[in-house]
A and B are shown apart, each in its own frame.
Chain A
Amino acid sequence: MNETIQIVVNGEPRAIADGASLLELLAALELDPRAVVVEHNRHIVRRPALGDVRVAPGDAVELVHFVGGG
């Protein structure tokens, strides 16, 4: 029960429950899915699909948003 796997989120290794979806990853990080854009192994995952995409060991996830810039 509750096996964890290692993935890489924003360049940092992170443990997450095996079989977790991207939506569950965001929840674990206390991030509002409407406030971030999610890239999973270099592919953008649209918001409605976040609950359908499950992470696997070694996956790379990027979570980005807008910051100040010129």
Chain B
Amino acid sequence: MDIPLTIAGRVFNSRLLVGTGKYRSNDEMLRAIEASGAEVVTVAVRRVDLDRSKDESILHHIDPKRWFLLANTAGCYTAEDAVRYARLAREAGFNDFVKLEVIGDQETLLPDVAGTLEATRILVKEGFKVLAYTNEDLITALRLEDAGAAAVMPLASPIGSGLGLLNPFHVRIIKRRLHVPVIVDAGVGTASDACVTMEQGVDGILMNTALAAARDPVAMAHAMRLAVEAGRTAFLAGRMPKREVAVPSSPVAGMLD
């Protein structure tokens, strides 16, 4: 028994959100997204290639009637840029949700939390539903919620690193203290990472590279679907307490002389 993931009043049928970047082919991407069971797929805003040498719009492959398109502001290093990209994304006419990223550093792609907060305030005022990518810092998460973020998205580890959930303690605290959904974004590498992440009680996970860079993205997408479901179910089931001494599972009484 679980309630569905709900962000800004919109109900989603999967707690797994997936990206559309870095796949070896569009066909493989589509099959992986289908296997993941995700309803939300992220997309990026970029210039149209005017000489048509490269592949065209993602909308030639992703049906916006079937999937919920969540535009990101990936690649933006200032609040001003992120706001610009968000406005362009909304103008595409699908929804007013945005996955806000304001990146602070090229090597780690860690978020610029001051810029993220600033952009959140601006975009919320303009009616956007802001899903804010941030680090696993409670105070920033609280500030983003105060600023009107529709969801807060702490990272598991740096974008594309596949290092898994580095700070379960802080992610758990964030989840415990926030009222808006907490969706872990970035860093998950394999199914166990997704499972452990969901076991912290968070509302969902967004991943891209873990699928796109797997040897078999479609099979990994299936594994992630199961892992997210397993982790969520285990969280709801409530794990046994940890003990540092053994406790026998079989009766102590009735042993032979």
Mutual binders A and B: yes
Say if the beta carbon of A35 comes within 8 Å of chain B: yes
Complex Cα distance, B21 from A21, in Å, reads: 34
Say if the beta carbon of B19 comes within 8 Å of chain A: yes
If the complex has contacts A12-B50, A31-B48, are A67 and B43 also in contact, measured as CB distance less than 8 A?
yes
Complex Cα distance, B59 from A69, in Å, reads: 12
Say if the beta carbon of A39 comes within 8 Å of chain B: yes
Mask for A18-48, Cβ within 8 A of B = 1, else 0?
0000000000010100011101001010100
Which residues of A are found within 8 Å of B207, using beta-carbon distances? 70
User: Which partner residue on chain A sits nearest B92 by CB separation?
Assistant: A37
Say if the beta carbon of B35 comes within 8 Å of chain A: no
Contact check, B71 vs A66: say whether CB atoms are below 8 A apart: yes
If the complex has contacts A9-B50, A10-B50, are A66 and B91 also in contact, measured as CB distance less than 8 A?
no
Contact check, A11 vs B74: say whether CB atoms are below 8 A apart: no
Contact check, A70 vs B91: say whether CB atoms are below 8 A apart: no
The size class of the interface chain B forms with chain A is 35 or more
Mask for B186-221, Cβ within 8 A of A = 1, else 0?
100000000000000000001111000000000000
User: Which partner residue on chain A sits nearest B19 by CB separation?
Assistant: A70
Complex Cα distance, B3 from A55, in Å, reads: 52
Which residues of A are found within 8 Å of B179, using beta-carbon distances? none
Main secondary structure of the interface of A (DSSP, over half): strand
Contact check, A67 vs B50: say whether CB atoms are below 8 A apart: no
Main secondary structure of the interface of B (DSSP, over half): mixed
Complex Cα distance, B88 from A64, in Å, reads: 8
Contact check, B43 vs A63: say whether CB atoms are below 8 A apart: no
Contact check, A69 vs B50: say whether CB atoms are below 8 A apart: no
| Cβ 8 A contact of B57, one of A29, A62, A66, A69 | A66
Contact check, A64 vs B46: say whether CB atoms are below 8 A apart: yes
Say if the beta carbon of B183 comes within 8 Å of chain A: no
Say if the beta carbon of B100 comes within 8 Å of chain A: no
Say if the beta carbon of B234 comes within 8 Å of chain A: no
User: Which partner residue on chain B sits nearest A34 by CB separation?
Assistant: B93
In chain B, positions 108-126 with a C-beta closer than 8 Å to chain A are none
Contact check, A68 vs B91: say whether CB atoms are below 8 A apart: no
Contact check, B50 vs A44: say whether CB atoms are below 8 A apart: no
User: Which partner residue on chain A sits nearest B44 by CB separation?
Assistant: A69
Contact check, B23 vs A68: say whether CB atoms are below 8 A apart: yes
Contact check, A65 vs B48: say whether CB atoms are below 8 A apart: yes
| Cβ 8 A contact of A10, one of B23, B48, B56 | B48
A9-B50, A70-B20 given; 13 more Cβ-contact pairs under 8 Å: A10-B47, A11-B47, A35-B59, A37-B91, A64-B47, A64-B88, A65-B58, A66-B46, A67-B45, A69-B72, A69-B208, A70-B44, A70-B159
